[in-house]
Structure formats: structure tokens, C-alpha cells
Chains A and B, each alone.
Chain A
Amino acid sequence: MMMKNSTRENNDIWRRFNPRETIIRYAWYVSIVFIAVWALNNLDIPWFYFLDAHIQAKDLIVRMWPPDLAYASELLKPLLETIHIATIGTGITFFIAFPIAFLAARNTTFNSVTWLIGRMLLVGSRSVNTVVWGLLFVAIFGPGPVAGIWAIAFRSIGFMGKLVAEAIEEIDGGAVEAIEATGASRLQVLSFGILPQVLPVIYGTLVYRWDINIRESTVLGFVGAGGIGILLYSSINQFLWREVSLTLISVFGVVLMSEFISAKVRQRIS
């Protein structure tokens, strides 16, 4: 867009952009700033809140220190629950996302109607945030980890399905044709021609999504869908800031650990 190569317009001084490019560049800058200012301006932000923000922040930090170590024994179980929610939710995703991905890939779907249905399901699943799914499933299953598991699964289906469908569309057609030529049924073509080619992608995205899901399941408790979020929310509402800080530290540890595991596993797979 704006990265044209340098041109020599005037002989004495070298410039990266010629005058026309410079004008276009500045026009872009001005319009971006204009949009941002318009957006900020329309939000009706009470700027005087900023005046005492540093006092409020300092107050919070003072109240949070030191972390209430005696509280640690109560954290273990909800932390495990958080990990379970993410893991089981991701596991369920594997089984649901798979058939939908086949519908949503152009080369394996039945016809354009099934393709559209597959795509719509994926877009719908992806557009609704995990926490919003959580709201819905808490209304259905009542508060608790079951709602969290389904919330995680429903959000991940779109993510997994999209990536797997893209992988299916990019597979080597030769292998599929070869298997078709042996007179294999549609199911056999799927399991021997297509599946082996996309499995590495599936495992990779599954582990990656698991890592994201750990982070997401730490907040599911805010809407009542289980995990550490329930404790965090109640400590915040009771202004028990020293418990809050310990909970945050433990969340930090779990998220870092999951990120580390997922990076290691993906390194091994690829």
C-alpha cells in the first residue's frame, strides 16, 4: 500500500517517498486519527475519573499485599476443576467439530446447501464468546461445571472446525483419488484418504485450543459456570483483596503452565 520503493525525484536529496506517496500517507494517518478521535469522543467518557485513578489503583495494590497464604488450601480444588472443564470441553469439541468440518470443506461436503449449513454453524459458534455461551448453558443446566464444559465446547467447535476445514481443503487430491479408484466407499475414502492427512493439524489445533480454553475457563465462574472464577468473583465482591491477589497468582501459574505444555507438545507434533 504505502511501501513503494524509493524514487529519485530531485537529484540532490534521497527521499523514501515521492510527494504523491507522502500526501497519500498523511491522508491515511489523518483519517485513522480522525476515526479514533470520533470513536473516543462518542463514548462519553467522564475524563475526571482519571484524576483519582492512580489513588484508587494504589489503594487496591496496598489492600492486596501481602497475599493471604492461608487461603491457598481452598484454591486447589477449584483450580483442578478449571483444568478439568477446559480439558473435557476440548475433548468434546474433537468429536463435534470433526463432522462439521467435513461439511464445511468444499471438497468433502455433499452439496452447496450442506456446505452453507456447515459454514453457518462454524460462524455462529465462533461469534459467540465463551462467557456468553456460559450464560446460556447456566440457564439450561444450572450453575456448575457442566455448563462450563458445554460453553467451552461450543465456542471451540467454530475455532477447530474452521482450521480443520481449511486443512481438508488443502489436502493432496492424488491420495484421495487413488483410494477412490480402488472402489472404496465414501466412509473408507474419509478414513484412509483424508483423515491421515489432516490428523496432525487436528492434534496441533486441539492442543493450542486447550491452552486458550484454560484461560477462558478461569472466568467462566463469573457467570456461574464453574471453576476458579466463582471464588475470584466472590472474593472481589466481598472486598477480600488479599484472597484476590493469591487467586490471581495461582491463575497466572496455571495459565503459564498450560502455555508451556501446549508449546512443548506442538513442537513435538510438527
Chain B
Amino acid sequence: MIENPVIRQGLIVAGLIYLLWSANSLEINWTRVSAGIPRAANILARMFPPDFGRWQLLVNGTLESVQMALAASFLGMILAVPLGICGARNIAPKPVYLLARTCIILSRTFHEIIVAIFFVKIFGFGPIAGVLTLTLSSTSFISKMLAEDIENMPPGQIEAIRATGASFLQFLNYCISPQAMPRYLGVSIYRLDANVRHSTVVGIVGAGGIGQVLAASFSRYDYDFSMAILLTIISLVFLGEFFSNWVRSRLR
């Protein structure tokens, strides 16, 4: 990879020095950490067998998570279209392009949980904050992909349709949409799958879904129920990924 042996060895040494420095600067309570191994065994022992006794809570939470993901993906898909078009350099005017790109970057930087906290402050506890959080992140993700897709289009078709004297709507309908649609649908389906994954975690700050149930069970040391929830989440994510792969392979 790196031809020069001095640089190669130097990088390894630099990595080791960094490791020492960072381990020193982190305030680690080693006595507490060394107690971790027996505690891990204890927690693991209490996790088995998983307790599916309160399956109603489990089903309700899971259903809420899935509904949040579906609603957020749909809203994100719709909102991403205008934002994506505005964020494409080759068809949007410069100020519009810059504004749209700023929106996309701003909403991408902050982790979902930080965004969720603010929506919880504004809209109160419950799935509403979760839906809005996931909508925001889906919008920025899909519109970024859409904008890049439009920017990568060959200029020939764009020029050809413009040369017919097409209006902007006709231009979008006959030039942009046929070229961007397959990938846009693929990205949206991928986002649905990602939203299912993220919907399991926004609940930790009170934004609804299965995450809320999980956080509650963890804080009550109710580990066998936590394990049941974790297993449910894993199978849900697995199913979502399977579904998204299947749809995307059919789209191609």
C-alpha cells in the first residue's frame, strides 16, 4: 500500500504513541472497569432465558417503531424531491443551490438522538418527535443522493429537452424523472430499512417506539425482558434488510 518503508513504520509508531496519549488523557476508573468481567457474566446469566411473557408491550412497541419508520420514509421521500432538485448544481440557480446544500449539510451533521431531544422539547414525548426526527434525516439523505444523481446526468438529454421549448415542469417530468427514478426508489427503500433501525433508538430520549420500552427495561435491571426486546429488534432489522435487498434487486 505505502511504498516508502519509513512512512509505513512511522505511521505504526505514530498510532502507538497516539494510543498511549489518548489512554492517558481519558479518565478511566480502572477498579470499576476491572469489576466489569464478573458483572458481564452476571448480566448475561440474567438475560437467559429471554422473557417473552410481556409480549403485548413488545408487539405494541415494535408496531409503533415500524409505523414511525413507514410514515417518516414516506414524508422524507416527498420532501426530498424539491430539496434534491434545488440541490443539483446543473439545474438550480446558484443561490437556491447553496441554500439547499446548506440545509442538507446542517441536517446531516447532528445525530438523530440530538435532533430527537429537540423535537421532544418542542412537541412533547411520544412518537410524533420520533417521526419528525426520522423524517428530517431521511429527507436530507434522500435529497443528497437525488441531487448527486441529477448532477451526474449527461448534459445531452437536458439540452435536448430544453431545446424543444419544454416548460420547467415538462422538463422535470420527461428529462429528470425517467433518469433519476430507479435510483431514487432504490435509495428510498434503503432509507426505509435504515429508518427501521434508527426507530429502535430514538425512543431512548422519549421519542416513542420499541427503544422507549428497551430503555425502561434496562433502567429497571429487567435484563431478561431486555434480551427479548433485543432479539426482536435483531429479527426486525434482519427482515427489513432482507425486504430492502429484495426490492432493490427487482428495481435493477
Q: Give the segment of A98-106, A136-144, A178-186 that binds chain B.
A: A136-144
- The answer to the question of B10 belonging to the interface, with a C-beta cut-off of 8 Å to chain A, is no
- The answer to the question of B55 belonging to the interface, with a C-beta cut-off of 8 Å to chain A, is no
Within the assembled complex, what's the spacing in Å between the Cα atoms of A2 and B181? 9
Query: A74 to chain B: closest CB distance in Å?
Result: 14
Kindly name the residue among B43, B111, B197 whose own CB sees the greatest number of chain A CB atoms within 10 A.
Answer: B111
Chain A residues near B197: list those with CB within 8 A: 127, 129
Interface string of B197-210 (1 = CB under 8 A from A): 11011001100100
Chain B residues near A26: list those with CB within 8 A: none
Within the assembled complex, what's the spacing in Å between the Cα atoms of A147 and B205? 19
- Of B68, B114, B178, the residue contacting A218 (CB under 8 A) is B114
Query: B119 to chain A: closest CB distance in Å?
Result: 9
Q: Is the CB of A256 within 8 A of B109?
A: yes
- Given A43-B127, A135-B215, does the pair A144, B27 have CB atoms closer than 8 Å? yes
CB proximity to A under 8 Å, residues B175-222: 178, 181-182, 185, 197-198, 200-201, 204-205, 208, 211, 214-215, 218
- The answer to the question of A132 belonging to the interface, with a C-beta cut-off of 8 Å to chain B, is yes
Q: Is the CB of B33 within 8 A of A142?
A: yes
- Of A60, A126, A252, the residue contacting B121 (CB under 8 A) is A60
Q: Is the CB of A43 within 8 A of B111?
A: no
Q: Is the CB of B70 within 8 A of A91?
A: no
- Given A16-B174, A140-B36, A203-B1, does the pair A248, B110 have CB atoms closer than 8 Å? yes
Q: Is the CB of B204 within 8 A of A223?
A: yes
- Of B25, B200, B205, B238, the residue contacting A222 (CB under 8 A) is B205
Chain A-chain B contacts (Cβ-Cβ < 8 Å), number:
165
Q: Give the segment of B80-88, B94-102, B151-159, B229-237 that binds chain A.
A: B229-237
- Of A44, A87, A127, A255, the residue contacting B237 (CB under 8 A) is A127
Interface string of A200-237 (1 = CB under 8 A from B): 10010000000000011011001100100000100010
Chain B residues near A223: list those with CB within 8 A: 204
Query: B174 to chain A: closest CB distance in Å?
Result: 7
Interface string of A125-166 (1 = CB under 8 A from B): 011110110011001111011100000000000000000000
Within the assembled complex, what's the spacing in Å between the Cα atoms of A71 and B141? 33
A-B pairs with the 9 shortest C-beta distances? A36-B74, A127-B237, A39-B70, A39-B67, A84-B22, A129-B201, A127-B234, A142-B32, A141-B36
Q: List 23 A-B contacts (CB under 8 A).
A: A39-B74, A40-B71, A42-B67, A43-B68, A43-B128, A45-B127, A49-B128, A60-B118, A91-B15, A128-B230, A132-B214, A132-B233, A136-B218, A140-B36, A140-B43, A144-B27, A144-B33, A145-B27, A145-B28, A146-B33, A215-B109, A216-B111, A219-B114
Q: Please name 19 further chain A to chain B contacts, defined as beta carbons within 8 Å, in addition to the given A42-B63, A127-B236, sorted by A numbering.
A: A2-B181, A3-B182, A40-B131, A43-B131, A84-B26, A128-B230, A131-B113, A136-B43, A140-B39, A141-B32, A142-B33, A142-B36, A144-B27, A203-B1, A215-B109, A218-B114, A219-B111, A232-B114, A269-B1
